[in-house]
Structure 1
């Protein structure tokens, strides 16, 4: 593995780069051609340019991309597209560049990337004034019960995630939010769908085990975050994908109104809260059981059910970030 400085120098000197854009993401279909043009104008040249109209082909495409041994892979899309890229690029001598073209862009926000296309492109041009830098950040790793993607081969990369594992009402929201409404309202579509589903959602008991100690709680929503954002909002001012911590937190207790008020607090005060507060449990490893067993949402995709084991893998992913990002 090259050092971060060596990899950054290779990219700046015109190293091999590949561009992948999910042209079915919320903004990808409108901005693909413009993004490609702006990247070229910034000095980035690509050995391959791959507009993706069928996201199910991403895994196949990354096999081709890795065979090219690139220095940089720029990926444009939402959190699902970025999560697929993270699984392939973690623990490799390749930098991931992110163009935030989705609805919530949680992982991009956690990397402190600008959300407008022009500034995001400027960050990726590491050789230019105002360009970003190569940093390494953490990823998560999980195993769950009945994971449909676990074919028994024990492919370690199948279990890597970028941003968050979730249990509870958010799983139902993700499944039922209308795609048309999401295109029109963006993040607001999730809030409206949650308001419709919450009156029928039942609370569950979660047993959270850290370091041999088990805590039992009741809630409608439990999150385990590697990143710093959920639903496009910061979860705590000191949360980071580069802090060697998983943040475990629930939204409210068994009362539905508490979930609504806790969600509102998350939206309104997350940027001022701290992971040191009692609302958060921080750890590098956690085991979770629920009663009843629940489906597990991993970066927006259903990946089996509880029990689920989650681990942190520190500094496992090379990424392009703004110069102001604190890289530890």
Structure 2
């Protein structure tokens, strides 16, 4: 990201000048209840003057983010779930502003991939004691994504899972909804071309990850959001029972401990074709269809992370 301050200069500016703007999605699972606490904690950490916006209508989120950026803050603090943060990523990518993450959603995959505290006081403390890092940004076609592009039954899950179930069960609502939908779901054939090699598989679910977490659970401990590669993997096979078993094992705490232990395809760019053509869930937004090129842009976005985060 040429023309930007160095990460050290940017970090010092945030710590000393405290120029910030805050946007909280009050339509998210905890956003409305925690908004006053966010403002109190920001002031407690020395951010005395900042623009604050509470978004109650999700359709106004993009407009609100642009308005928050008009004051040229060094730090844009965004609170909400992964969908909210994915929208914010699109607005701060390749710009001289760092994204501060408040994990106020159900699964908080992006925050987990950054190694952020999942409690609100801990997350806000990162803004005054952490550092600026440049991390990778995934692209599905021309659409940037922070965490995951997925294909198959998860697209139906994203459209079907009930808000009341998420409030009641948290991240467990997603695998339970998947198990409910699976009997009526048909498998599909996927073709992944990476570095000139074509991989073929039959499955109900294919994920392409930029981050390290999916559904609130770790995909593999050695996946990184900052290593210049995407990781594609399937859950189960074309058999429903296999996917049920994989889903239950993943929900119990993780199927694969490392990249060597799972069915992964790794690369900086991959062409995905499917039979039949499939819709893509790109960080919670279903707008694209296969065939599609997925790639990673190293150091595509600036974020505030804990001091021990490994910034490559």
Q: TM-score range by the shorter chain?
A: over 0.9
**Residue 9 (structure 1) aligns with:** 12
Deviation of residue 60 (structure 1)?
Answer: 1.3
Match of 1:180, SS? Answer: helix
Q: Does 2:300 align with 1:302?
A: no
**Residue 130 (structure 2) aligns with:** 132
**Residue 31 (structure 1) aligns with:** 34
Deviations 1:165-204 (A, max 9, x none): 0000111111111111112211122122111111111100
- In structure 1, the gaps of 5 or more residues are 126-130, 144-155
Match of 2:107, SS? Answer: coil
**Residue 61 (structure 1) aligns with:** 64
Deviation of residue 268 (structure 1)?
Answer: 4.2
Matches within 5 A, 1:111-122: 111-122=114-125
> CA-atom RMSD, angstroms?
1.4
- In structure 2, the gaps of 5 or more residues are none
Deviations 1:57-114 (A, max 9, x none): 1211222233222110000000001000101111111110000000000000000111
Deviation of residue 278 (structure 1)?
Answer: 5.1
Count of equivalent residues: 309
Q: Distance in 2 between matches of 1:136 and 1:286?
A: 22
Matches within 5 A, 1:225-264: 225-264=209-248
Deviation of residue 300 (structure 1)?
Answer: 0.8
Q: Distance in 1 between matches of 2:262 and 2:161?
A: 32
Contact 1:14–1:45 (CA under 8 A) maintained in structure 2 = no
Q: Does 2:58 align with 1:74?
A: no
Q: Distance in 2 between matches of 1:110 and 1:204?
A: 29
Contact 1:219–1:253 (CA under 8 A) maintained in structure 2 = yes
**Residue 200 (structure 1) aligns with:** 184
Q: Does 2:100 align with 1:102?
A: no
Match of 2:17, SS? Answer: coil
Deviation of residue 304 (structure 1)?
Answer: 2.0
**Residue 178 (structure 1) aligns with:** 162
**Residue 201 (structure 2) aligns with:** 217
- Structure 1 pair 287/13, CA: closer, same or farther in 2 (3 Å)? same
**Residue 151 (structure 1) aligns with:** none
Q: Distance in 2 between matches of 1:271 and 1:66?
A: 40
Under a length normalisation based on structure 2, what TM-score does the superposition of the two structures give?
0.95
Deviation of residue 53 (structure 1)?
Answer: 0.5
Q: Distance in 1 between matches of 2:263 and 2:40?
A: 45
User: Which of residues 26, 42, 47 is equivalent to 1:44?
Assistant: 47
**Deviant stretches of 4+, over 4 Å:** none
Contact 1:221–1:250 (CA under 8 A) maintained in structure 2 = yes
Contact 1:19–1:74 (CA under 8 A) maintained in structure 2 = yes
- Structure 1 pair 123/178, CA: closer, same or farther in 2 (3 Å)? same
Matches within 5 A, 1:261-280: 261-268=245-252, 270=254, 273-277=257-261, 279-280=263-264
Deviation of residue 274 (structure 1)?
Answer: 1.3
Match of 2:290, SS? Answer: strand
**Residue 148 (structure 1) aligns with:** none
Deviation of residue 243 (structure 1)?
Answer: 1.2
Contact 1:237–1:271 (CA under 8 A) maintained in structure 2 = no
User: Which of residues 21, 26, 31 is equivalent to 1:18?
Assistant: 21
Under a length normalisation based on structure 1, what TM-score does the superposition of the two structures give?
0.91
Deviation of residue 231 (structure 1)?
Answer: 0.2
